Amino acid sequence: MNFRDVELLSAYLDGQLSPSDSIRLESRLASDQNLQAVMDDLRTARGLLRQLPQRRVPHNFTLTTKMAGLKAPELRVYPVFRLATVVAALLFMFTFVVNKFAPIETIHLSAAQAPASGMGGGCNNCGPAEAAPAATEAPVQPFAAPAPTEVLPSTQDNSRNLTPSTQQITPKAAVPPPVINQPSPIPSEAPVPLSWQISIGIIAVICGAAAWFLRLRSEREFQKRWNKK
Amino acid sequence: MDEFALIQSAQHGDLDAFNSLVLAYQDNLFNTALRILNDEELAADATQDAFLSAFRSINSFRGGSFKAWLMRTVTNACYDELRRKKRRPTTPLEPEGSDGDEMDAPRWLADPALTPERQLEADELEHAIQHCLDHLPMEFRTVVVMADLQGLDYSDVAVATHTPLGTIKSRLARARLRLRECLQGFRELLPAAFRLQEEPTR
């Protein structure tokens, strides 16, 4: 008897032999006592194993959502609010960037306007409050700085040579009223008005809060559902 | 709900459906792990790991025997536990008595349906069989536990162990042969029916 015979016996016990192999083995078993003895021993071993009691499980092995790594399902509107928050926040930052660089251009304009208004004969009717911005803003731009100092004397000289009647007419003709009455250039000429910025900021905050609230609520409902089970 | 429907629901992330499958198979997986590892705590850890791993990879199940597929996950978990155990040896399962010796049949493993004498005999026999199982190489032990303790057929054992069918037949025969030799040392523990069966063979 060799190991091949043991394999055949083992498979025969489990009913894994083909009918022809089974018949052949059965005829050998009838004539070979040694083979029969091994067969009985294998059957005993197999029978003992099958009789081993099944132990009860110490606890249930069911998985919790935490163990399984499951997350609360998102509500359908959640991605909309999340996207709106991101877009509004980006727009909000964009308006700041735009407004940060825009005042430089407005100063350029105001500096360029300063000689134009000065060449027109100055602004005698302008009060100190109106003249002051040009004088204070001028040093910001290096090329614009001399403008008031150069222009103002000439306008003063011109005004001295003019008759009182012309003194009264010239400023009106040179400096049109809209320019004189123009408000302070920086806030009014900002590309994105402050009200828009505030609105975009509010939209970003509201959408963010709504997205956070929806997420929180779905997570709480998800947990509540699982805690009930 | 039948098993196929539960598997399909679990594949769509339904944890309730998966937990129904867990309840159906946890006895099989735990007992397989217990016989392979011979340590209740390690077997419980391996079973839990196996179910967790099964849930994460349930989409890789493509039909066939779900029990065999689960058996593969628990076998892998048992191998992991054994590797971990080798790195960090722990105290043995059997609690120690007052004299410091291991108790062969701890009270908490006892079956209340048996008389104390029969319980003692059953415990001793079980301990002897487990002793013989422990002395089998791991791959032989796994095959014999699945085929003889869990009643899986050869093809399912082949799936569960990722081994060719011919190898399963060979391993099972070798495992039974070794168990036969080992159990001869515990002849006095064998039930009368088995002893009578063996008498004429000697």
What would the two tokens of residue A40 be? 């009985």
pLDDT of residue B88: 67
pLDDT of residue B119: 67
What would the two tokens of residue A71 be? 């997350």
Taking an 8 Å cut-off on Cβ atoms, the answer to whether A49 and B22 are in contact is no
Q: Are residues B122 and B72 in the same domain?
A: no
Taking an 8 Å cut-off on Cβ atoms, the answer to whether B35 and A52 are in contact is yes
pLDDT of residue A133: 45
Tokens 């877009």 appear where?
A: A87
Domain with B115 in it: what CATH number?
A: 1.10.10.10
**Concatenated DSSP letters of B2-22:** -HHHHHHHHHTT-HHHHHHHH
Taking an 8 Å cut-off on Cβ atoms, the answer to whether B129 and A49 are in contact is yes
Domain with B77 in it: what CATH number?
A: 1.10.1740.10
Instruction: Give the pLDDT band of residue B194 (cuts 50, 70, 90).
Output: low
Residues of B in contact with A17 (CB under 8 A): none
The alpha-carbon gap from B41 to the nearest alpha carbon of chain A, in Å, equals 9
With 0-12 / 13-18 / 19 or more C-beta atoms within 10 angstroms meaning exposed / middle / buried, residue A225 is exposed
Q: Are residues B5 and B88 in the same domain?
A: yes
The alpha-carbon gap from A190 to the nearest alpha carbon of chain B, in Å, equals 53
pLDDT of residue A220: 80
Residues of A in contact with B111 (CB under 8 A): 53
Q: What is the dihedral of CA A151, A157, A162, A165, to 10 degrees?
A: 60
A137 has a pLDDT exceeding 50: no
pLDDT of residue B63: 86
Cα B54 to Cα B27: distance, rounded to the nearest angstrom: 16
Other beta carbons within 10 Å of B151:
11
pLDDT of residue B146: 93
Q: Are residues B129 and B54 in the same domain?
A: no
Closest-CA residue in chain B for A8?
A: B173
pLDDT of residue B82: 87
Instruction: Give the pLDDT band of residue A124 (cuts 50, 70, 90).
Output: very low
Tens of pLDDT, residue by residue over B136-185, are 999 999 999 999 988 899 999 999 998 999 999 999 999 998 988 888 88
Q: Are residues B80 and B166 in the same domain?
A: no
For residues A96-118, one letter each, b for 16 or more C-beta atoms within 10 angstroms of the residue's C-beta and e for the rest, the string is eeebeeebeebbeebbeebbebb
B77-81 mean pLDDT = 91
Tens of pLDDT, residue by residue over A79-119, are 888 899 999 999 989 888 888 777 555 555 554 454 444 44
Q: Are residues B54 and B74 in the same domain?
A: yes
Taking an 8 Å cut-off on Cβ atoms, the answer to whether A68 and B15 are in contact is yes
A200-229 mean pLDDT = 81
Taking an 8 Å cut-off on Cβ atoms, the answer to whether B183 and A14 are in contact is no
Instruction: Give the pLDDT band of residue B114 (cuts 50, 70, 90).
Output: low
3-state helix, strand, coil in chain A (%, to 5): 75, 0, 25
pLDDT of residue A146: 45
Question: Interface pTM (ipTM) of the complex?
Answer: 0.76
Examine residue B97 and state whether it is found in any structural domain, yes or no: no
Domains held by chain B: number: 2
Cα A14 to Cα B144: distance, rounded to the nearest angstrom: 12
Q: Could you give the angle at the alpha carbon of A73 between the alpha carbons of A67 and A78, nearest 5°? A: 140
Give chain B's count of helices (H) and strands (E). 9, 0
Q: Using a CB–CB cutoff of 8 Å, tell me whether A68 touches chain B.
A: yes
B25 has a pLDDT exceeding 90: yes
Q: Are residues B109 and B175 in the same domain?
A: yes
pLDDT of residue A215: 84
Least confident of A133-137, A186-190, A215-219: A133-137
Please, are residues A59 and B34 in contact by the beta-carbon 8 Å criterion?
no
A174 has a pLDDT exceeding 90: no
Least confident of A7-16, A214-223, B98-107: B98-107
pLDDT of residue A154: 45
Taking an 8 Å cut-off on Cβ atoms, the answer to whether A62 and B19 are in contact is yes
pLDDT of residue B90: 56
Please, are residues A85 and A212 in contact by the beta-carbon 8 Å criterion?
no
Taking an 8 Å cut-off on Cβ atoms, the answer to whether B198 and A9 are in contact is no
Instruction: Give the pLDDT band of residue A196 (cuts 50, 70, 90).
Output: confident
Q: Are residues B138 and B65 in the same domain?
A: no
Tokens 């997570």 appear where?
A: A219
Q: Using a CB–CB cutoff of 8 Å, tell me whether A56 touches chain B.
A: yes
Tens of pLDDT, residue by residue over A13-30, are 999 889 999 999 999 999
Residue finishing a domain among B71, B92, B113: B92
Least confident of A63-72, A117-126, A167-176, B157-166: A117-126
Q: Using a CB–CB cutoff of 8 Å, tell me whether A70 touches chain B.
A: yes
| Helical pair B3-11 and B15-37, crossing angle rounded to 10 deg | 100
A8 has a pLDDT exceeding 80: yes
A120 has a pLDDT exceeding 80: no
Q: Within the 6-65 window of chain B, which residues sit less than 8 Å (CB to CB) from chain A? A: 13, 15-16, 18-19, 22-23, 26-27, 29-31, 34-35, 40, 44, 47-48, 51-52, 55-56
Q: Which is more confident, A61 or A214?
A: A61
Q: Are residues B78 and B123 in the same domain?
A: no
Which residues are bridge partners to A162 per DSSP? none
Instruction: Give the pLDDT band of residue A126 (cuts 50, 70, 90).
Output: very low
Cα A174 to Cα A167: distance, rounded to the nearest angstrom: 11
Closest-CA residue in chain A for B165?
A: A16
Closest CA to A198 of A95, A112, A102: A95
Q: Which segments of chain B are extended strands (E)?
A: none
Residues of A in contact with B35 (CB under 8 A): 52
Taking an 8 Å cut-off on Cβ atoms, the answer to whether A16 and B19 are in contact is no
User: Domain range holding B59?
Assistant: 1-92
Q: Are residues B2 and B65 in the same domain?
A: yes
Least confident of A29-38, A41-50, A66-75, B61-70: A66-75
| Domain segments of chain A as ranges | 3-51, 79-228
Q: Are residues B110 and B25 in the same domain?
A: no
Please, are residues A29 and A36 in contact by the beta-carbon 8 Å criterion?
yes
Please, are residues B30 and B46 in contact by the beta-carbon 8 Å criterion?
no
Q: Are residues B12 and B77 in the same domain?
A: yes
pLDDT of residue A149: 43
